[in-house]
Structure 1
Amino acid sequence: MPRAYRSPTLVSLLLGLVLPLAGCSPDTSSTAEIPTVVDSHVIQAGNGADITRLSGRVQAAERATLSFEIAGKIERIAVDVGDRFEAGAPLATLDDERYRLVARQRQAEAREAEASLIEKRQDYRRQSSLAEKGYVSDTQLDTARAGLDTAESRHASAVAAQELAERDLAQTTLNAPFEGSVSARQAEPSERVAANQAILEIISDREGFEVATSVPETLVDALSTGTTHSIGFPALGGGTLPATLTQLGTQPRSSNDYPVILSLDEPPEGVRAGMTAEVELSLAGAAQDASLLPIPLTALVYDDEQHAHVLRIDEDGRLENVEVTVVDIGEERAKVRGELAPDERIVARGTEFVDPGQVVSLLDQGPERYN
């Protein structure tokens, strides 16, 4: 049987078709990593100056909570919230009947003790005179001396009790310690109140107004008394006014915030106690540090031990975990210190969806600036 004849030209053509197809077959030996798209932020250099914005509240520089030093039933309250008064004016009174009776009783006891003292003093003088003449014994003289001593003690005690009773009677009237107005009223007539129970809260505008706020422990060393800062009042329109830091607390409140008091150099017209204030603190010292870098608040990542981190994007688009120290936190940004440098790029949002070591690509969006 004759052998089939294959043309060399046909064989070459078939081989030319097969070899390219073999080169196009997929390589399943490795899988390419698909980058995750992230929103990024380019770190800007610190400028060496820093202003922290906080909320505060206006309060009168001179204020007091008034109360009776004694217990009793309120007979009258002469003022209400918003009423003005002069220094020394009677603001409230207690029913004083019981205290008047006690004062009269103590007066009678003091007079009785005084009469007894006079009698014992005369007796002692008589006994002394007789003892000098030898008509009485030393024992009788000592008895007279002891009786006089007892009478003197009882008289002194009775006089002190009388003074206390008269003082309590005077305390049934609550007088204004200075000229001002009533900011709060916490009791009503016919109500029985205990000693030192708050009755009225009063304020004075003679010493001006001040603003109370608080700062985190990381900023305490950057503040000092006597420095000038700025305060704005949303209820009074735009603009800020100078204020002097007069008090810096040494004991923190809750959440390690330290109280701060700023005195308004020139209180604006219309300012009232209780108004909201926007405080701009100019920080100094450690806070005015070029190593502090502003970043978006959403870029911070916290581990199980509440240590702060950011995710830096290297030149190959791979994420690196960098620990930072948070020095200041605002509404939208934070000031941090760490192994970061200006112009480096970090993940700005969505840090919970990526991990260190992961490759990412950048969202088509310009870097945000946090000054």
Structure 2
Amino acid sequence: MSVAPQPKDLTGRLQSLSIRPEQRPGPRRGTGGGWRTALVGVVLGGGLGAAGMWWWHGRRADSPGGEQTAAPRPAEVLATQPATSAGENVLIATGKIVSDHRVNVATKVSGQIVELLVEQGDRVRAGQVIAKLEDVTYRAIYEQTVAMLAKSRASLHNAEWDWERISKLYESGQAPQNEYLNGKHSLDAWKAQVLADEAAMTAAKKRLDDCLVRAPITGVILQKNAEVGDFVAAEGGRGANANAQLVTIADMDKLRVEVDIAEQDIHRIRPGMRCVITPEAHKNRTYQGRVLWIDPLADYAKAAIQVKVRVLQPDEHLRVEGTAKVEFKASPAAGEPAEGSERPMR
């Protein structure tokens, strides 16, 4: 049975295993720390040389007779926008086609429609008759005013003859003053009556003419709101089936596209900017346009600003209330730098 060695014996054994100093190998020459020392010397020498050159040039610049060297001018900081050459898209938005003149044609007199001469989509000219209302009553009123005016004029003619006769008698002393004054009063009254009857006849003639509903502008019929036989009421009056509006007309020669531009992008849009418009109904057709107006008021709910783009040469393929894509082009105006050019930051 073996016995574990004591600590004293273990320490002695470990000491016996150590290598004496005289038996240890010495460092080999040419290797190890020699090259490291040389590298440190080179680095320190280069640093001291650079510091000396900097001190020497600084002393020459500061000396009265030395060569003066201007301090380097700091470089100007430039704000570079995304490069967009002429013809490229600055922004693309979608909006609604709108007519500059859109009119709801309403009747000026109340009555029943006896003729409706247009259909939806028809092109009409200003002054063209588009509907006729029953005019029997209005024509009778007009003829009555004509007769009343004729009667008043006849009475005025008689009053003028009587006044001339009484004036001569009064001047010769053969007529009393009260007869003279009554004659003058009668003459003035019939003159006023003639004026009143003329006004009544004019009003009756206007109501009779309004039985012919005419187009106020040249354009296209967008909507037809009544049919033959319907009763239409003037000035907002409403019966069981009364409707003052007959048709809606839009001027198709002056169209624009209204688009909403995000507030963070509105700085990229300017008045007069060239645009290319593509209607959703005819994607194979494009129209030239210009920025007509930028709304000075923003829409807080949408965080957007409305921009109106004029369609330069509209045709029958465009549809009011239709959708169109608007491409805002980067064609600079005269005297303005192209978008994307560098501008100094202030």
| 1:116 match | 155
Cα 1:184–1:268 change in 2 (3 A) is closer
Q: How many angstroms apart in 1 are the aligned matches of 2:209 and 2:260?
A: 41
Of 138-147 and 248-257, more deviation after overlay is shown by 248-257
Structure 2 residue 278 is matched with structure 1 residue 232: yes
| 2:82 match | 47
**Pick from 324, 328, 345: which aligns with 1:277?**
324
Q: How many angstroms apart in 2 are the aligned matches of 1:151 and 1:221?
A: 72
Q: How many angstroms apart in 1 are the aligned matches of 2:267 and 2:191?
A: 61
Which string of whole-angstrom CA distances, capped at 9 and with x for unpartnered residues, describes residues 225-279 of structure 1?
5443332223322685431233455677895876543222233773333320123
Structure 2 residue 128 is matched with structure 1 residue 81: no
**Pick from 53, 58, 61: which aligns with 2:97?**
58
Corresponding pairs, count: 251
**Pick from 141, 146, 168: which aligns with 1:129?**
168
Of 193-202 and 261-270, more deviation after overlay is shown by 261-270
Superposed CA RMSD in Å reads 3.9
Q: How many angstroms apart in 1 are the aligned matches of 2:81 and 2:291?
A: 25
Q: How many angstroms apart in 2 are the aligned matches of 1:187 and 1:237?
A: 34
Residues 169-248 of structure 1 aligned to structure 2 (within 5 Å): 169-177=208-216, 180-195=219-234, 197-205=244-252, 207=253, 209-214=255-260, 225-237=271-283, 241-248=287-294
Cα 1:162–1:214 change in 2 (3 A) is farther
Cα 1:192–1:151 change in 2 (3 A) is same
1:245 counterpart SS class: strand
TM-score, normalised by the number of residues in structure 2: 0.59
Aligned partner letter, 1:47:
P
Deviation at 1:162, TM superposition (A): 0.4
Deviation at 1:216, TM superposition (A): 6.7
Which string of whole-angstrom CA distances, capped at 9 and with x for unpartnered residues, describes residues 17-65 of structure 1?
xxxxxxxxxxxxxxxxxxxxxxxxxxx9753879444322223455433
TM-score, normalised by the number of residues in structure 1: 0.56
1:161 counterpart SS class: helix
Cα 1:269–1:181 change in 2 (3 A) is closer
| 2:309 match | 262
Deviation at 1:77, TM superposition (A): 1.0
Q: Is the 8 A contact 2:217 2:249 kept in 1?
A: no
Aligned partner letter, 1:232:
T
Q: Is the 8 A contact 2:90 2:268 kept in 1?
A: no
Q: How many angstroms apart in 1 are the aligned matches of 2:210 and 2:170?
A: 50
Which string of whole-angstrom CA distances, capped at 9 and with x for unpartnered residues, describes residues 2-29 of structure 1?
xxxx9769xxxxxxxxxxxxxxxxxxxx
1:263 counterpart SS class: strand
Q: Which has the larger radius of gyration?
A: 2
Mind listing any 5+ residue stretches in structure 2 that lack a counterpart? 9-78, 236-243, 342-346
Identity level (%): 23
2:192 counterpart SS class: helix
